Amino acid sequence: MMPHPVIGTIITDIALPSTGDKTVKLSDYRGKYLVLYFYPKDNTPGCILEGQAFRDNIDKFTQLNAAIIGVSRDSVRVHEGFKCKQQLPFDLLSDTDETLCQWFDVIKLKNMYGKQVLGIERSTFLIDPAGILVYEWRKVKVKAHVDELLQVLNAVSA
């Protein structure tokens, strides 16, 4: 397994199946800032709010030369329904075998209804146009996350 990415290093290229019946590689976004956000599960309250926050601010991200990609362990079929229902203007990657999740170290032990389960810890990573990881947020709280992300993006892209 590759070492986990750290701030200041180039992100290894990984390709995953995506909405829109395509395969997306992280390098497809070179030349732009890439907001790579990991979320636990489609169609759940926090994930809906997070997706909507990115959707509602898409113009601000676009003005800052930034693309957004969401990643979870849901299938592409489930992603397509979620993307359509929430009108998300960006791709969702399906990481059913947890390749990208493991590499970014976002699979964590969580408590669900009194049981310990492995799940995705809500996390966001900002990759610069050269493919270098410049910022990361772990244990993301949905409220105000997009605003904070835009502040950082404004600062690093200035």
Active-site residues, by number, are 47
Helix (H) or strand (E) holding 127: strand 123-127
Amino acid letter, 37: Y
List of residues 6+ apart from 63 with CB closer than 8 A? none
3-state secondary structure of 17: strand
* CA 130 to centroid of chain Cα atoms: 18
CA distances from 87 to 47, 55, 56, 124 (A): 13, 8, 10, 20
Q: d(Cα 106, Cα 98) in Å, to the nearest integer?
A: 9
User: For residues 93 and 19, what is the distance between their CA atoms, to the nearest angstrom?
Assistant: 7
